[in-house]
Structure 1
Amino acid sequence: MDIIITIASTVLEQMQKPTLAFLIAGMMLAALGSKFEIPDPVYKFIVIVLLLKVGMGAGISIRQADLFSLVVPAIGAAVVGITIVLIGSRTLARLKGVSQVDGLATAGLFGAVSASTLAAGMAILDDEGIAYEGFIGALYPFMDIAALVTAIVLAKMATARKAAAGNTMADGTMTLGGSGKAPIAEAGLVRGILVETFRSPAISALIAGLALGVLAKPDSVFDSFYEPLFRGLLSILMLIMGMEAWARFAELRKVAHAYILYGITAPIIHGMLGFGVGVIAHELTGFSAGGIVLLSVMAASSSDISGPPTMRAALPEANSSAYVGTSTGLGTPIAILSIPLFIALAEIVVGT
């Protein structure tokens, strides 16, 4: 009974936080038939500012980190982010009634990282007196960008294949599959989608911010402009996404059980994957027990900052009520509740 009360209180607490609260407010506006709207140029400006800020913050963390100690856990974090999306592509995205693009967008957010959940993990470790590496925040972009790019590329490939299959049926020729030049066509498809993804406004802004943070010294403009605006602009974005989510809510109700199952089980499975990679890093480089716990927390978490605007910009056809609702409404509370589990496992496996 206590665990049910704890979960309920955690969910309620998450609903009161700006990310989910403004999403719900947007849904209420749409449900009441409000004519409230944000002009498209303003929306695009908000997304670019948000993603430049996220990228710069991550780049500054990397610049300030001990690069030698960072390499192994950073590679591990990227591998975890990609693997989580691949797992989602084989599970959620293949469930009956779930749109492949919606499933991949959801998996992308679960592969990316929640800054608030990571902060909660750090606070708990600080309270417990468990040490962790100072560069741990610099692992964020490796997992985050790897997961988001992988999800977007897979979703675009799925859409392109579906369109190609439709063309094949319509004119009697085969664009992909079969024999002959099909592998070349497939390779060209992947290459084109990769180029398109990295040139897209969302990923371009994220990577540009990352490069600026690593190679330049944008700290003053970051602190004076991007940081103060960030939360306010994010709240407006979530309001927009809430209105869009309500418009597409009917599509989600038919397969809500699939997202509920994924939202409850995925954080634990993903966290265990991060834990395993953390243990490997511990054996190779002496990565601390606290670092293992926080890598597990990052893997268990789902993005509430960089993910939604990236998906909204790169995959506008994806249902935001599916990926935001599942990640923030279910994934985040489960990830936070799982932190004591990862601490206990770290004590058993490597000691603290």
Structure 2
Amino acid sequence: MDFLFDFLTNFLGQLQSPTLGFLIGGIVVACLGSRLAIPDPAYKFIVFMLLMKVGLTGGQGIRESNLAQILLPALFAVLIGILIVFIGRYTLCKLPNVKTEDGIATAGLFGAVSGSTLAAALTLLETQSISYEPWAAALYPFMDIPALVTAIVLASIHTRKQRDTAGEYPSSRQEYLSKQRGTAVKRVKIWPIIKESLQGSALSALLLGLVLGLLTKPESVYQSFYEPLFRGLLSVLMLVMGMEAAARIKELRQVGQWYALYGFVAPLLHGFIAFGFGMIAHYATNFSLGGVVILAVIAASSSDISGPPTLRAGIPSANPSAYIGASTAVGTPVAIALGIPLFIGLARALGGG
């Protein structure tokens, strides 16, 4: 009963919070046909500011922490990112009328991480005075990059198998060897995928902040500039995401109801899996329950910044309406409105707080 009460309290608090309030506001405004728009340069600047702040927080935390405590949560983040893609590959992709490439791309996007959802979780944790390791935000790339790489590799393997079974059989040993050499040339190269992810705007900003927080002493600019602006900028970002979610609902309707179902169930399932791994780290290395919540939230989130362009380039045959629609229209609201209060309530119940 205490857990249920705590969850409902957090859920109602989320409904009243600027984070979800502005998200819902953006959806309502877009559905009413408003012409309200946030200029793209302003949107990119807001995302940069938010992720720089998260990166600076993580860098300062790593500088003051024991690196041995980071290893196990980082390893779990990698495993979770890969596992999420395989779960989608053998569930969503098996459903009727779901194209395999679309399903894999959707799983990859849900395995990758949303910087805005992470920022919303950090804000709520701080509002409720729940402690967590400052470096926990640095788990972002450990989950994000492996998920995107895994999705692109699985899609490439599937595409190659389709070509091989299309009836193109070699008529001689020489032709067979020629085809083998051609296949070898077309093998998936992992480094370009990693490079593309690292060069994406979201990860670049986060990693830049991480390095600056680790190697410099940015406390003065952090306290006077990044910290005061954080929540206000986050509210504007939620407004933009709400309008984007409403715009994607029509596209999601075109690709079928299975993506909507996946977008609702997957964030909670992925979050619970990550919460379980986080509790192992909690008992093994004293990883804080706030850190466990962060691990669960980044697993529940789906990438809204770096993931879509990476998947467009890596899986060009996939339909963006499927994976972006499932993520933005369903996955992100579920992760923020249900996931964050659910995992905070569960952590409080387990911690006796």
- TM-score (normalizing by structure 2): 0.74
How big is each residue's C-alpha offset from its partner over 1:127-147, in whole Å with a ceiling of 9 and x where there is no partner?
xxxxxxxx8222331x22211
Map of 1:349 onto structure 2: none
Q: 2:342 aligns with which of 326, 334, 344?
A: 334
- The 3 A distance-change label for structure 1 pair 304 and 89 is closer
Map of 1:87 onto structure 2: 83
Alpha-carbon shift at residue 156 of structure 1 (Å)? 5.1
Instruction: Identify which range, 190-199 or 156-165, moves more after superposition.
Output: 156-165
Query: What number of residue pairs does the alignment pair up?
Result: 318
Which secondary structure state, in structure 1, belongs to the residue aligned with residue 37 of structure 2?
coil
Map of 1:270 onto structure 2: 274
- The 3 A distance-change label for structure 1 pair 6 and 216 is closer
Amino acid at match of 2:229: L
Q: CA RMSD in A?
A: 3.8
For 1:19 and 1:312, the matched residues in 2 are separated by 23
Q: Does 1:323 align with 2:324?
A: no
Kindly indicate whether the alpha-carbon contact (under 8 Å) linking 2:88 and 2:103 is maintained by their aligned counterparts in 1: no
Q: 1:115 aligns with which of 119, 122, 129?
A: 122
Map of 1:254 onto structure 2: 257
For 2:302 and 2:234, the matched residues in 1 are separated by 10
Map of 1:16 onto structure 2: 16
Q: 2:136 aligns with which of 117, 135, 139?
A: 139
Q: 1:149 aligns with which of 145, 166, 190?
A: 145
Amino acid at match of 1:42: A
- The 3 A distance-change label for structure 1 pair 12 and 99 is farther
Alpha-carbon shift at residue 26 of structure 1 (Å)? 0.8
Amino acid at match of 1:298: I
- The 3 A distance-change label for structure 1 pair 181 and 249 is same
How big is each residue's C-alpha offset from its partner over 1:182-228, in whole Å with a ceiling of 9 and x where there is no partner?
3553342x211111111222211111111111111122222222222
Alpha-carbon shift at residue 27 of structure 1 (Å)? 0.7
Amino acid at match of 1:51: L
- TM-score (normalizing by structure 1): 0.75
Q: Between the two proteins, what is the percent identity of the paired residues?
A: 29
For 2:331 and 2:152, the matched residues in 1 are separated by 16
Structure 2: runs of 5 or more not aligned: 170-178, 313-319
Q: 2:295 aligns with which of 293, 299, 303?
A: 299
Which secondary structure state, in structure 2, belongs to the residue aligned with residue 300 of structure 1?
helix
Structure 1: runs of 5 or more not aligned: 126-134, 282-287, 345-352
- The 3 A distance-change label for structure 1 pair 110 and 202 is closer
Map of 1:234 onto structure 2: 234
Kindly indicate whether the alpha-carbon contact (under 8 Å) linking 2:300 and 2:339 is maintained by their aligned counterparts in 1: no
Instruction: Identify which range, 296-305 or 38-47, moves more after superposition.
Output: 296-305
Kindly indicate whether the alpha-carbon contact (under 8 Å) linking 1:51 and 1:202 is maintained by their aligned counterparts in 2: yes
Map of 2:186 onto structure 1: 185
Map of 1:209 onto structure 2: 209
Kindly indicate whether the alpha-carbon contact (under 8 Å) linking 1:302 and 1:332 is maintained by their aligned counterparts in 2: no
For 2:145 and 2:32, the matched residues in 1 are separated by 36
Kindly indicate whether the alpha-carbon contact (under 8 Å) linking 2:267 and 2:339 is maintained by their aligned counterparts in 1: yes
Map of 1:37 onto structure 2: 37
Amino acid at match of 2:225: F
- The 3 A distance-change label for structure 1 pair 79 and 224 is same
Map of 2:108 onto structure 1: 104
- The 3 A distance-change label for structure 1 pair 150 and 179 is same
For 1:163 and 1:38, the matched residues in 2 are separated by 38
